[in-house]
Structure 1
Amino acid sequence: MSFSLNDVTRVAHDLWPLSGASGWDAPGLVTGRSTDPISAIHLAVDAVSDTVDEAIAVGADLMLVHHPLLLRGVVTVAEDTYKGALLARLIRSGCALLAAHTNADVVVDGVSDVFATRLGVLDPQPIEAGTDPGTGIGRVGRLAEPTTLGVLARRLAVLLPATASGVRVAGDYGDAITTVALCGGAGDSLLRHPAVLAADVYITSDLRHHPASEAREQAGVAGGPALVDVSHWASEWLWLDTAAAQLRAALPGVTVTVSEIRTDPWDFVVTQ
């Protein structure tokens, strides 16, 4: 059975409907001709120089990424800009580019759902419900057995691919943890959500100083979760294997590969 780029795009939008995307987002097809045949798809969190080169090297006809390359408006795709250079390399190599971003965050078996399941959260439910049952931003649920914050942090360090920033924790090592709220990627917008405030711990990425400090100070007054900050890339990379399996099932005969290149932007950390 053969598939065109139009066929694959339709499958992707069935798996991760564009209707689920946030209003500010820009998922969907970035470049490619709808009639081109697709026999190999390469998945990555980010379209950066290394992953684009990898997709071309493995002979992919389509690169499917989580983060849209053209999320913000651009006025040029000249090749002395990195976005222009990446697009030119993809086009010249006959490799299309498709993004599934917040539309892949909110679905069942999406980014946060996979993260929660892999961590051992039972029956994870959306923190902020979407329009369809089971969909929405983030996930919250209970662990099969209570643990401590320190042990959970170590579990995360084993589960997630290693990065320079590692796993950062705000809370006491021995704090009892039963209820876990999490959001793959940047999730500080949910810090004051009732479901997060009621959890024992909130796991997300890109927590800035002031929101994290204020959340912990408020927890000392009125209760609230411990915080765990993990790499944005690492928290979303877990989803790629599930997405690849879904594509293989929907597109028999198409080769689907997953990048293991670390696209977390930080290379090393220095401590005293």
Structure 2
Amino acid sequence: MKQVNGHQVVQLLEQFSPKAFAMEGDPVGLQTGALNRKVSKVLTTLDVTHEVVDEAIEKGANFIIAHHPLIFRPLKTINLETSAGRLIEKCIKNDITVFAAHTNLDVAKGGVNDMLSEALGLQEPSVLVKTFEDTYKKLIVFVPETHASIVRDAITAAGAGQIGDYSDCTFTTAGTGRFKPDTNAKPFIGEQGSIEEVKEEKVESIFKASNEKEILHALKSSHPYEEPAFDVFEQSIPGEVYGLGRVGKLKEPVSLGEFTAFVKKQLNVPAVRVTGDPEKQIKKAAVLGGMGSKYFQTAKFAGADVYITGDVDFHTAQDAEAAGLSIIDPGHHVEEIMKTGLAVELTKRANNEGLNVEFIPSSLSTEPFTFM
């Protein structure tokens, strides 16, 4: 097993939840600390509080991945007389790096909203609010026959060639490459000033635009030539849609009252706020983690009978009820489902790459409200 640093931890996270997915202005990424230090244990948490940092220290975690950014607005000063200042100081003094994955983790496949959708049993869920479309590009690279399989393996391992449920999709044609190294070149094949002909393969593969940086890095790292010849083309085929929330049918219709009890149980909350007739039949539901009240009309337009989201205000609840859409508000804190879900996902990816790092979910609740 290979030792890792913070950069490699971030690379695992961004394999499925890249920064490009984040909403404009969302302060995702490095919050405090450094990414070039060794990491042995990572704590996943909804929020970064003094208690959570103490937990990280106790458990030997020197890296925290939080859903809610520690520094949400730009700081003008770090005042150690304030709680926020002391919290940043505690992280720095204990060499704990804090990294935030917020709306990018909300919209990611397998992210917060997919976790909530799965917990609530939504069937064939689709994106509720489109925020990002990951378009496709095509890579064409020319490689000596002797190294074609090496380059193919490298680019597909980086994410190229994924089409639906099929991976490692490439197309190869044989040909002859011709080139003349100049006097400053250090050619892998051939001599300076002489025309060289080499049996080459043209390898083609498509990839998601969000993975371009990683795929081109894999290409250049694995290619034997000093100056690899390759092209990247935009593709007109529809890209994969990402976004906030999910909407899907229930396995079987139930009353609003029954579904509300199910939501409480599945999301492990002591109470919820509900609008609508408890006897109303629920066939289709929408869910959006965190504060999603402004999207209630989108949920209604998507055909949902009920919308599960947090922090719903009085007038929005009234407007939704008037529109015939029931609301279940279990609170913002249900996003804590990401703690275990993210730790499991990153553990799987680290094991697949032979990386020696442990991911553990925080055992603490950061819910500020007490139900009495």
Do both share a fold (TM > 0.5)?
Answer: yes
In structure 2, the partner of 1:13 is 14
Q: Equivalences for 1:2-41 in 2 at 5 Å?
A: 2-41=3-42
Contact 2:64 2:96 survives alignment (8 Å): yes
Q: Deviations over 1:109-129 (max 9, x none)?
A: 111111011110011100122
The one-letter amino acid of 2:87's match is L
Matched residues, percent identical? 32
SS of the equivalent of 2:26 reads coil
Q: Which structure has more strand as a fraction of its residues?
A: 2
In structure 2, the partner of 1:131 is 133
SS of the equivalent of 1:75 reads coil
In structure 2, the partner of 1:254 is 357
In structure 2, runs of 5+ residues without a counterpart are: 135-239
In 2, Cα distance between equivalents of 1:48 and 1:108: 27
Contact 1:127 1:195 survives alignment (8 Å): no
SS of the equivalent of 2:74 reads coil
In structure 1, the partner of 2:223 is none
In structure 2, the partner of 1:225 is 325
SS of the equivalent of 1:135 reads strand
In 2, Cα distance between equivalents of 1:38 and 1:9: 11
SS of the equivalent of 1:80 reads coil
In 2, Cα distance between equivalents of 1:195 and 1:17: 30
Deviation at 1:13, TM superposition (A): 2.1
Q: Deviations over 1:128-178 (max 9, x none)?
A: 223132421110000111111111111111112335xx2111011111001
The one-letter amino acid of 1:15's match is F
Q: Equivalences for 1:50-199 in 2 at 5 Å?
A: 50-129=51-130, 130-132=132-134, 133-163=240-270, 166-193=271-298, 195-196=300-301, 198-199=303-304
Deviation at 1:195, TM superposition (A): 5.0
In structure 2, the partner of 1:205 is 310
In 1, Cα distance between equivalents of 2:299 and 2:260: 23
Deviation at 1:196, TM superposition (A): 4.8
Contact 1:108 1:134 survives alignment (8 Å): no
In 1, Cα distance between equivalents of 2:268 and 2:42: 22
Q: Scaled by the length of structure 1, what TM-score is found?
A: 0.91
Contact 1:39 1:61 survives alignment (8 Å): yes
Contact 1:30 1:99 survives alignment (8 Å): yes
Going from structure 1 to structure 2, the CA distance change for 1:194 and 1:150 (only over 3 Å counts) comes to closer
Contact 2:46 2:338 survives alignment (8 Å): no
Deviates more, 1:26-35 or 1:260-269: 260-269
In 1, Cα distance between equivalents of 2:301 and 2:328: 12
Q: Does 1:265 align with 2:364?
A: no
Q: Deviations over 1:29-60 (max 9, x none)?
A: 11222221001000110011211111111110
Contact 1:5 1:34 survives alignment (8 Å): yes
Please list every run of at least 4 consecutive aligned residues from structure 1 whose deviation after the TM superposition is greater than 3 angstroms: 194-197
Q: Scaled by the length of structure 2, what TM-score is found?
A: 0.68
In 2, Cα distance between equivalents of 1:26 and 1:187: 19
- Kindly tell me the number of residue pairs found equivalent between the two proteins: 261
